[in-house]
Chains A and B, each alone.
Chain A
Amino acid sequence: MRGRYLCWRLVRAVVTLLAMIALTFALYFAIEQHPPMSAFGSGPYTAQQIRAVRRLYFLDGSKIRLYFDYVSQLARGEFPHARTIDSSGRVVDAGSPSLYLAPKLRVTLAMLLGGAILVLLLALPLGALAGSRIGSWTDRCISLGVLILLCMHPMMLGLILRSAGGRLDWLPTSGYCPLSGHATLINSNGQPTGTCGGPLDWFTHLLLPWLTFALLFLALYTRMIRASVAETIHEDFVRTAHAKGASETRVLRSHVLPNASLRVLTMVGMEIGTAIGVCIYIEAAYGMQGLGNAAINTLGGNGDLSLPNTVAIVVLITLIVIIGNLLVDLLYTILDPRIAIRRNEGQTKSLVGGVF
């Protein structure tokens, strides 16, 4: 049963990925009908130059064949290479987009994982506190605070925190430091201001982005944990635990909160896509060079749209979502083998704060 279900999931994931690449192709070729000739200055252009530019923008061959070439290349585990025009006007290979995207992927993954951990660290105590005192002032204050955070936009929240952080001067407020090796920090005018690197710099530079991320997603998780705690707190086994003399925190920690873990996990799975969207804004707010930054530069650039780069970004983001969801599914079956694997058929996407 489990194997068959996972197989079916995988097939659907592959179909989704293929459709996504096809959509990207459709959008790309809808726009690049008249490629910019900027590589050769202002006209008139020779036939050879026009041919070179059409080749540069992948307009010279069959689009269907190009699609299958791309898919087979991706299936072999490598991204299709970008093209560029060299000084003599010939179209040459510009290398794999993975060279350009690998450091960015690291930034985004660090953001996502650290942020997710911080969300849970904040949401569990808050949700438990609110859930065990439904209707009290503590509960109301937490609910209101969380609601206000829910209405914040990631970029605004990020910039507010960054401004406050800059005023207080406790934490570095921009840039990303690699965990190993060194990077040059650049200020807003593009001047280098120093180097940084190592675990400590990595951590302090990511702390504010993580906090931003966590505050944004706090609402969903706190509310859910609150609801779950409020439901289970009147169950018999909780009363038994109380009767046996366990302290309040102990009852909450080891008897009530584990019941919320499945719902939290479902939510994590559903929110991965949203989280990547949020990363675009947070990266922009803190001047970090992540996947979101790459997406904005590639897709929103000044007309210089590159098909291999676009496809690579779309594939990477989709893969993060798909792999994340599969992991959540696996964890699900490990955490609670009793339940049927047909999860979240009736489950719905989070009510508010969906897409940003």
Chain B
Amino acid sequence: LRFRRDRWNVVALVAVVVVVFLGFFGGAVVSRLVGHSGNEQFPFAANSVLRPVGPFVRVPAPRHVRYDDYGGLVRPRAGGRTALLILGADGPLGRDELIRLLDGLRVSLSIAVGAALIALLIALPLGCVSGYFGGVTDAVVSQFTEIIMAFPLLLFLVFANTHLQGLRAVGWGWEFPAGVFDEALLIGVFTAFYPTRLIRAQMLTLRNAEFVESARMVGASHWRIMRRHLLPHLAPTLLVWAAVAVGTNILIEVGLSFIGVGVQVSTPTLGSLLTTVWGTVYNPQTYNSHNYTPWQTILPMLTIVVTVAALNRLAEGIRRAMEPKEQR
């Protein structure tokens, strides 16, 4: 395979696989290993001004925590049961940063992948029809995508955040926390114009190709031509698009967290882990080393950078492997 010739492609592929595995199974595995979940709070994991502890710290387990008559914490005797916080705690509540990071990765990935699928569902029919038939259909669809493109997405999101609370209802257990679906829907609908244009451009060049002509001559219907002859040609383009789109969607999710749209606060995402330190648009906070550790910024950022960079590199690798004539 031409794809395997560049070792960075392989590195990127491995990184993406690792990230997906970590996201979907890491949280559960780690919480089984260390014996607590991402929502468990350790009062001793944050000091008196609520600055969380750093990596590799053992703190007394929650059930050994006693309060004195004034509501202050009583430090338990040495030798009691402790819990290991591998990457420290996530904030004043003292939850396990590593587990929350992995869970956040899972939620962010489901949002990103879901949004890409929704965008594809919208783009495929629109792009195919407008590219294949052309003429008036094409003009209408193009105008429509232009409006969506020009629509100030952020304005809508700010607006949706305050006024469309009913959106938050859909959710299903651990795998699919409430808010994931509607966030994916929002991102998907507003990014669908991009694959629509890609598919349309591809269709425009393909519809007059010889094999389409010949299929038409033997009497194949439009539907059959699109499904059997044209769709397979879209696959490489869409694969590249999907890899990039998932990366972009992760970044968009971070952005949405910063305007307070999206999943509930108790559900971690890569974005909401960052907002605990930096605040949202409504209450931006400058860095305060009394209350926060640098880990709270560095760890989610690193996760985002690795994920997005690997996805981008993967897309680049696939594209180069598909188009040998492309200059490097």
* Residues in chain A within 8 A of chain B (CB atoms): 12, 15-16, 19-20, 23, 27, 31, 147-148, 150-153, 155-156, 158-160, 162-163, 166, 231, 273, 276-277, 280-281, 284-285, 287, 292, 295-296, 299-303, 305, 313-314, 317-318, 321-322, 345-346, 348-349, 351-356
Contact = CB atoms under 8 A, between A and B. Distances in A.
A340 to B, nearest CB: 16
A355 B190 contact: yes
B3 interface: no
Given A16-B143, A16-B146, A277-B153, 9 more contacts: A15-B143, A16-B147, A147-B309, A153-B274, A163-B286, A296-B282, A355-B153, A355-B255, A356-B255
Contact of B308 (A31, A150, A292): A150
B281 A155 contact: yes
A182 B158 CA distance: 32
B191 interface: yes
Contacts of B255: 153, 281, 355-356
A300 B158 CA distance: 5
B196 to A, nearest CB: 11
Q: Is the interface of B mostly helix, strand, loop or mixed?
A: helix
A217 B308 CA distance: 16
A277 B248 contact: no
B285 A151 contact: no
6 contacts: A27-B156, A31-B163, A151-B251, A153-B254, A276-B152, A317-B152
Contact of A351 (B151, B284, B301, B312): B312
Given A156-B274, A281-B258, A346-B201, A151 B153 contact: no
Chain A to chain B: the 5 pairs with minimum beta-carbon distance, closest first: A163-B287, A356-B255, A300-B158, A284-B281, A299-B159
Interface string B130-161: 00000000000001001101111111101101
A277 B274 CA distance: 19
A301 B251 CA distance: 25
B198 interface: yes
A300 B284 contact: no
B150 A231 contact: no
A284 B255 CA distance: 13
A167 to B, nearest CB: 9
A281 B281 CA distance: 6
Most buried by A among B147, B155, B194, B197: B155
Nearest to A149: B305
B247 A352 contact: yes
A299 B190 contact: no
Interface string B278-296: 1101101111000000000
A281 B254 CA distance: 12
A81 to B, nearest CB: 21
Nearest to A313: B155
B152 A314 contact: yes
Nearest to A293: B281
A147 B155 contact: no
Nearest to B260: A300
B120 interface: no
Interface residues of B, number: 50
A281 B252 CA distance: 13
A20 B308 contact: no
Interface in B260-304: 271, 274, 278-279, 281-282, 284-287, 297, 301, 304
A345 B201 contact: yes
A296 B280 CA distance: 12
A299 B286 contact: no
Contact of A159 (B155, B156, B287): B287
Contacts of A303: 162-163
A352 B163 CA distance: 29
Contacts of A299: 155, 158-159, 162
Contacts of A300: 158-159, 161-162, 259, 281-282
Contacts of A287: 284
Contact of A295 (B155, B161, B201, B286): B155
B214 interface: no
A15 B259 CA distance: 30
Given A155-B284, A156-B274, A355-B191, A273 B312 contact: no
A273 B284 contact: no
A317 B146 contact: no
Nearest to A273: B150
B162 A20 contact: no
A284 to B, nearest CB: 4
Contacts of B194: 348-349, 354
A317 B155 contact: yes
A159 B161 contact: no
Contacts of A301: 162
Contact of B258 (A20, A147, A153, A166): A153
Contacts of A148: 305
Nearest to A317: B152
A27 B159 contact: yes
Contacts of A281: 255, 258, 281
Contacts of B152: 273, 276-277, 295, 314, 317-318
A244 to B, nearest CB: 26
B116 interface: no
A277 B154 contact: yes
Contacts of A346: 201
A355 B284 contact: no
Contacts of B198: 348
Given A16-B146, A303-B162, A162 B155 contact: no
Contact of B278 (A150, A155, A302): A155
Interface in B169-196: 190-191, 194
Contact of B155 (A15, A151, A314, A322): A314
B244 interface: yes
A201 to B, nearest CB: 21
B208 interface: no
A305 B164 CA distance: 13
Contacts of A19: 147
Contacts of A345: 201
Contact of A348 (B147, B197, B284, B304): B197
